[in-house]
Amino acid sequence: MPLDLPVQNSLGFAKPPAETRVVVAMSGGVDSSVVAAMLSEQGYDVVGVTLQLYDHGAALAKKGACCAGRDIHDARRVAETMGFAHYVLDYENTFRESVIDEFADAYLGGATPVPCIRCNERVKFRDLLETARDLEADCMATGHYIQRRDGLHGPELHMAADPVRDQSYFLFSTTGEQLDYLRFPLGHLPDKAATRALAERYGLPVADKPDSQDICFVPDGDYAAVIEKLRPGAGEPGAIVDMEGRELARHGGVIHYTVGQRRGLGIGGLSQPLYVVRLDPDARQVVVGPKSALATWLVPLREINWLGDAPLASRDEWHLGVKVRSTRPPREAILRPKGDGLAEVELLTPEEGVSPGQACVFYDLDSTRVLGGGWIWRGY
């Protein structure tokens, strides 16, 4: 007679939800709140955890930022509404050392960093994940819009069902080991309206809360002001030069510019618009040129995280899709491993405004699968 195998619950465990502990990373926003409420309603042993990532007193005045004082309060109210445990953990030092300091140094080095990726990689999916294990949780769930699917060789990372909300670009550095422990209950939803409808259904106080639009520690979008506060003297003036090195104007600090920028250069009387092509922080120069100079074919990468089934080094070349901007669809490219966590991507059609410090994320051309990615840098 066939054996009766235990039925897996919705999180993939062969036991009742009540015996399955799940830590939910709660930012105080509607997405993670819905995840916690959904799992609580399904009978799971939910433990909500909210991270205090920077000074609580200062955060209270930062309207619209995630993980601020208001958001901690909102997360606590959701936990009270649904009746599950909630904890606030002080990760301020970890966040400063792992995310904010690198953000400042990257800008000083002429790069355009993406701190949300580092926060996921180093704080949420490393330190908080270990805390979840310490709490004897079976898994950790987040409100990210991305899908985790079981494949022939283990769990796979896939783009969200809603391409508008897809956050795969910001989660490329998730490792296979982390993916085995993580769950993303919202990834299959058709759109954000479906999430808000669930929040209404659960009676959550954050159902109408606006989405955060800024980096949590730069809530007004003024990166330069934050850098100057963190690194006094960072806004040293210098020259705006053309690609031949001729001075065209003066600037008030390289940190005020990003590759691809057109507005705010303060250069008049030209026959064609100029764009920031390169930043040279050592010479305190902003190099500008025509739009055609922004075209990039070859992209050097480091800190490669590979999520494919076969080892990255098992081929000399991989034909896949890549994103060099979170808002752009994947483009066809050739990935060439170089060893020691390095690789080079050849774009089959050039991209404009590719900048060191940003991510290049890999996708399977024939499916929604995310194959990892790496960090763009200046070269070998």
Say if 235-289 and 295-376 have the same CATH topology.
no
Candidates 67, 116, 216, 360; catalytic one: 216
Mean pLDDT of the chain: 92
Catalytically annotated residue among 66, 67, 116, 119: 119
216 is catalytic: yes
| Predicted local confidence at residue 66, as pLDDT | 52
pTM of the model: 0.92
Q: Is 154 helix (H, G, I), strand (E, B) or coil?
A: strand
- Options 2.40.50.100, 2.40.30.10, 3.40.50.10260, 3.30.450.90; CATH for 295-376 is 2.40.30.10
Task: Indicate the helix (H) or strand (E) that contains 270.
Answer: none
Report whether 372 contacts 304 (CB < 8 A): yes
Helices (H) and strands (E) in the chain, counts: 10, 17
Q: Which residue from 92, 87, 71, 174 is spatially nearest to 134, judged by alpha carbons?
A: 87
| C-alpha to C-alpha distance for 318 and 336, rounded to whole angstroms | 7
Residue-wise pLDDT tens digits, 139-160 = 999 999 999 999 999 999 999 9
pLDDT of amino acid 273: 92
Number of Cβ within 10 Å of residue 27's Cβ equals 23
Q: What is d(CA 244, CA 246) in angstroms, rounded to the nearest whole number? A: 6
Q: Which long-range contacts (CB under 8 A, 24 or more apart) does 132-138 make?
A: 132/23, 132/49, 132/181, 133/181, 135/21, 135/23, 135/47, 136/21, 137/21, 137/22, 137/23, 137/47, 138/11, 138/13, 138/20, 138/21, 138/22
- The residues spanned by each domain of the chain are 17-201, 235-289, 295-376
Which CATH topology does 235-289 take? SH3 type barrels. (2.30.30)
Looking at residue 272, its pLDDT comes to 87
pLDDT by residue for the chain (380 residues), tens only, comes to 455 557 899 999 999 999 999 999 999 999 999 999 999 999 999 999 999 997 644 433 444 445 558 899 999 999 999 999 999 999 999 999 999 999 999 989 999 999 999 999 999 999 999 999 999 999 999 999 999 999 999 999 999 999 999 999 999 999 999 999 999 999 999 999 999 999 999 999 999 999 987 788 887 788 888 898 899 888 899 999 999 999 999 999 999 999 999 998 988 777 789 999 999 999 999 999 999 999 999 999 999 999 999 999 999 999 999 999 998 899 999 999 999 999 999 999 999 989 999 999 999 999 999 999 999 998 65
119 is catalytic: yes
Encode pLDDT of 37-57 as tens digits. 999 999 999 999 999 997 644
- Looking at domain 17-201, which CATH architecture does it have? 3-Layer(aba) Sandwich (3.40)
